[in-house]
Amino acid sequence: MMSVMQMARVAPEKTEFLTRPATRFFSQALQEKQMSSYFEKLKDPRWQRKRLEAMEAHGFECEICYDQESTLNVHHKAYIKGREPWEYEIDQLSVLCQSCHAAQHSFVDELKIISSFLPIDGPCNKFEITDLVLDFIRHEYPEKAVKIDKAIEEAGGSDAK
């Protein structure tokens, strides 16, 4: 059995089994609190206004199946740390019926997975790959590129061109 002094020298990941139940409890409690505050933010008039703008921009129909009868949801295509739900451009939101919205949440974010395997520095790092994708978008979709560059700059990214 290790003493407290010996345990303090062990890397945190080595003692994970000792703290996991408490960590899981507090992590779950924090996650529930964050979800609660997020759903409170969705009641905010600024979000309700942005949501209505998105629905109007997309003709009050699902962008995928064009359903106009089902309940519509406004979906954030990606979340940006520190940004409130209403602080997104309309192009960063999708209007989806409930079944298409559920399907979107079940998809795997392949770009995020690819990025997790790329080195942080050196050849073929995630920043170089991001630049390749941005160059493609700039060439093929110049009108989108302007908005993307602006969003990157506003988020504090230094790679905006």
Residue pLDDT tens, the chain, 161 long:
544 444 444 344 433 444 455 555 556 665 555 556 888 888 899 999 999 999 999 999 999 999 999 999 999 998 888 889 999 999 999 999 999 999 998 887 888 888 888 888 888 888 888 888 999 999 999 998 898 888 888 878 754 34
The continuous run of DSSP H or E covering 73 comes out as: strand 72-76
Q: What is the pLDDT of residue 17?
A: 43
Q: Which of 43, 59, 81 is at the close of a domain?
A: 43
First CA to last CA distance, the chain: 57
Is 147 inside a domain boundary? yes
Question: Residue 72: phi, psi to the nearest 5?
Answer: -100, 145
pLDDT score recorded for residue 23: 57
pLDDT score for 9: 45
Considering its fold, how many domains does the chain have in total?
Answer: 3
Q: What is the model's pLDDT at position 37?
A: 85
Helix (H) or strand (E) holding 21, with range, is: helix 16-41
The whole-angstrom separation of Cα 97 and Cα 99 is 6
- Tally of residues, the chain: 161
Q: Are residues 35 and 54 in the same domain?
A: no
Q: What is the model's pLDDT at position 26?
A: 58
For residue 88, being part of any structural domain is answered with yes
Helix (H) or strand (E) holding 98: helix 98-106
Q: Do 142 and 110 meet the contact criterion of CB atoms below 8 Å apart? A: no
Give dist(CA 74, CA 54) in Å, integer: 7
Residue 140: per-residue pLDDT: 92
Note down the domain range covering 95.
Answer: 45-107
Tell whether 56 is covered by a domain: yes
Say which residues have a Cβ less than 8 Å from residue 135's Cβ, sequence separation at least 6. none
What is the rounded CA–CA span in Å between residue 129 and residue 119? 10
Distance CA 130, CA 115 (A): 9
Are residue 78 and residue 130 in the same domain, yes or no?
no
- Claim to verify: residue 31 and residue 54 sit in the same structural domain: no
Sign of CA dihedral 47, 50, 52, 58: negative
